[in-house]
Amino acid sequence: MVPLSWYLIFSAILFSIGLFGVLSRRNLVAILLGIELMLNSVNVNLAAFWRYGTVTNITGQVFAIIVFAVAAAEVSVGLALVISVYRKRNTVIADEIDMLKF
Amino acid sequence: MTIDQIIFLVVAVATLIAAFRVVTTGNLIHAAFWLIAALFGVAAIFAILHASFLAVVQVVVYIGAISILFIFAVMLTRKDMRDQGPQLNRNWGFGAFLAALALVGLVFLVHGWSGVTKTAPAFPSEFDAVSALGNALVSPDAYVLPFEVASVLLVAALVGAVYVAYNRK
Amino acid sequence: MDFLKDPLKVAADWLLGIFAGWGMPELWANVLIGFLGIFILVALLMVLDIFLVWIERKVVSRFQSRIGPNRVGPFGLIQPFADIIKLLIKEDTTPEGADRVLYNLAPILSMMSVLILWAVVPLAPSILGVDLNIGVLYIIAAGAIGTLSIIMAGWSSNNKYSLIGAFREAAVMLSFEIPMLTVMLIPTIFTGSMGIGAITQAQDTWFVFLAPLAAVIFLIAAIAELGRSPFDMGEAESELISGYNIEYSGMKFGMFYAGELLHAFTFGGFWAILFFGGYRFFGLEQVSAFLAIAILFFKAFIGYWIIMWIKYTLLRIRIDHMLAFNWKFLTPVAFVLLMATAFMNALLADASNWLYIGGMFLSNVLVAWISLEVARSASRRERERVEGGKAVEAHQ
């Protein structure tokens, strides 16, 4: 049987990789990709705690579903912003979008 | 090592390699496809955890919709074709340091917690997780309010995305 | 007759006995038998696929007043094998600047997205790959992998026609997934389970009598999901010179083609399973598992024939009309129908069986009539706006 710690460490590594992507990539779309990884690591944790806690208490899965909805909302608005910025400034590099107004 | 552990390790290592390629590969389209591979890995982890509903929703929502949206966005914003240049910003070393710090901190916390060596309770054979989840999402005693708020959030995001990306010309 | 009732279990027990005789642990023997079952199912499907090519060509030629393949073998039955040999010895080209890994992965994923659907198809009361309690969602998830393969093929070919075709196809597939999933929830409401096996078991009355509109919407959405005419904008030959699979040659193209045919047959099968009782036919399925499989395949072929009939009768629809049709008509109708069905289901929960069927049928007819009236008045207004009212008088 797989101990709980393996899942937790797996999701911690996934979270750190996503965090690195968010902090270091220049492209806005790539930053959003990193955020997706971080949200997924959270979902792995929620599902693992559901499985290793009381299985009949479904809370972990409900939270994971809410995270799915939030992720979908975040991606749709985020990519719409990226495309809008690209139309106005012709760039998707985060460093070059520094005008503080839009 | 039991067969469960071998399956978990194979899936986890494949997922982490794919995730690492997402944040390091230069070609953004490849990064999006690596993200799909990583999301498949996470879906497999859900399946290993007996969360079959989450696994299938992961494939439907993430791979069927979100990744396709990413691929569309990458293709729509590639006019200047600048994925030849450096993909990491000047502070990437600091970012890597912070990510490593977060990892060390999380592992330290996990290590220090007493519940960590716990093994999973036997899965009750009569228990139907999908119908329990459905009941929890619409029951007033449980999570009907967060569920409704999430749906309102989705509608707001839909309207907002159309408004922001709409080309007024 | 155990073998006629449940051939799979008899065969599995027999194999288990043989493997145990070789001194194999039971776990490994079971895993091996599972793999063998998958292998045999896939092999049979691929053989079926070869004959689907023949059937498709014969049917289309009849629709077009031709005879079709009739040279190789009796009725041209050997023709598909000749086609396969031709595809195998063709040059396997890769376009310059193509993304090799994704380019070669796309046909495989396309075929895979069809084959994994058969894991949840209940072939007979005792023969069912996995009785997932989320089978309906699983079908949509497999469709998501199909969308992915098309995007992969379109992008990695490094050709603007294939990219445009892939964009169109992906947009169509993503949008038509929504009404499809919505109407698949209607059998789920009747059954109380999302499992495909449970849905088949629950059809004492075929669901098409309870929800005829849902069956029609499912068929339309399935045809769009398959990317077949009239929704074949992704591979429009005359404008996009066959879209996302333009750069593929030889057996790689063959895999796309075979995947499309098997996909159409599979969705004919799902139409039969969700709305026409699957393998059930007046208790005949209890006699023998083989008879049940024959009934299911007969119904699936009828569904497949209807899909072909539509394909070779209707013309291609323009992409914006197609998406407008989905978002402004099909999706709202599917949502209203789902709500009406849920409401009627709660209202008629204690009613007798005939009242339940009648109420459901009437609510479906009502929703269909209202939505068609709304669509008619909307299209009349649109026509008046475009043509300035003159053409409308001429129409009347």
Give the pLDDT confidence of C132-141 residue by residue, as tens digits. 788 888 888 8
- Long-range contacts of residues C85-92, Cβ cutoff 8 Å, at least 24 apart: C87/C250, C87/C251, C87/C253, C87/C254, C88/C250, C88/C251, C90/C249, C90/C250, C90/C251, C91/C249, C91/C250, C92/C249, C92/C250, C92/C251, C92/C252
| Residue B79 confidence class, pLDDT cut points 50, 70, 90 | low
Contacts of C134 in chain B (CB under 8 A): 52-53, 56, 130
Tokens at residue C152, please? 């992969």
Instruction: Find the range with the poorest average confidence among B83-87, B105-109, B164-168.
Output: B83-87
| Residue C255 confidence class, pLDDT cut points 50, 70, 90 | confident
Does the beta-carbon distance from C137 to B65 stay under 8 Å? no
Alpha-carbon distance C182 to A13, whole Å?
37
Residue A102: inside a domain = no
CATH of the domain at A25: 1.10.287.3510
**Integer Rg of chain B from CA:** 20
Number of domains observed in the structure of chain B:
2
Highest mean pLDDT among A25-34, B14-23, B90-99, C93-102: B14-23
Decide if C308 contacts C56 (C-beta within 8 A): yes
B10 and B75 in a single domain? The answer is yes
Contacts of A44 in chain B (CB under 8 A): 42, 45-46
A45 lies within 8 A of chain B by CB: no
Distance from the Cα of B103 to chain C's closest Cα (Å) equals 32
Alpha-carbon distance C248 to C254, whole Å?
9
Chains C and B touch (3+ CB pairs under 8 A): yes
Residue A29 sits in which domain range? 4-96
Number of domains observed in the structure of chain A:
1
The closest CB to that of C141, out of B36, B56, B67, belongs to B56
Residue linked to tokens 């009242």? C355
Decide if C279 contacts C296 (C-beta within 8 A): yes
Residue B115: inside a domain = no
A38 lies within 8 A of chain B by CB: no
Does the beta-carbon distance from B56 to C143 stay under 8 Å? no
pLDDT reported for residue C369: 92
CA dihedral C274, C278, C282, C288 (to 10 degrees): -160
The CA-CA-CA angle for residues C16, C20, C24, to 5°, reads: 110
Residue linked to tokens 């009750």? B124
Residue B139: inside a domain = yes
Alpha-carbon distance A71 to C168, whole Å?
25
Residue A8: inside a domain = yes
Residue B119: inside a domain = no
Alpha-carbon distance values, B79 to A33, B83, C388 (Å): 20, 10, 40
Q: Tell which wins on pLDDT, B26 or C321.
A: C321
pLDDT reported for residue A95: 75
pLDDT averaged over chain A? 85
Residue A101: inside a domain = no
Chains A and C touch (3+ CB pairs under 8 A): no
| Residue B139 confidence class, pLDDT cut points 50, 70, 90 | confident
Residue A23: inside a domain = yes
User: Looking at the predicted structure, is the pLDDT value of residue C347 above 70?
Assistant: yes
Distance from the Cα of B64 to chain C's closest Cα (Å) equals 4
| Residue C393 confidence class, pLDDT cut points 50, 70, 90 | low
User: Looking at the predicted structure, is the pLDDT value of residue A97 above 80?
Assistant: no
pLDDT reported for residue B15: 92
pLDDT tens-digit series, residues A49-80: 888 887 778 888 888 899 989 988 999 888 88
Instruction: Write the ipTM.
Output: 0.87
pLDDT reported for residue B41: 92
Highest mean pLDDT among B37-46, B73-82, C147-156: B37-46
| Residue B17 confidence class, pLDDT cut points 50, 70, 90 | very high
For A8, nearest residue in chain B (alpha carbons): B110
CATH of the domain at B21: 1.20.120.1200
Per domain, the residue ranges of chain C are 90-395
Contacts of C104 in chain B (CB under 8 A): none
Instruction: Find the range with the poorest average confidence among B120-134, C303-317, C339-353.
Output: B120-134
pLDDT averaged over chain C? 84
Which bin fits B153, alpha (ψ -120 to 50), beta or left (φ > 0)?
A: alpha
| Residue C159 confidence class, pLDDT cut points 50, 70, 90 | confident
Contacts of B68 in chain C (CB under 8 A): 147-148, 151, 170, 174
Query: Of all residues in chain C, what percent carry a pLDDT higher than 70?
Result: 95
Alpha-carbon distance values, A56 to A8, B123, B125 (Å): 21, 9, 11
B73 and B131 in a single domain? The answer is no
Residue B149: inside a domain = yes
Residue linked to tokens 């007043």? C65
Residue B9 sits in which domain range? 1-80
Alpha-carbon distance B6 to C31, whole Å?
15
- Reference A86, options C155, B29, B78, B160; nearest CA is B78
| Residue C151 confidence class, pLDDT cut points 50, 70, 90 | confident
Q: Tell which wins on pLDDT, C173 or A89.
A: C173
A62 lies within 8 A of chain B by CB: yes
DSSP classification of residue C204: S
The closest CB to that of C170, out of B30, B33, B68, belongs to B68
Residue A72: inside a domain = yes
pLDDT tens-digit series, residues C184-201: 989 988 888 888 888 888
How large is the average pLDDT for residues C210-237?
Answer: 84
Residue B21: inside a domain = yes
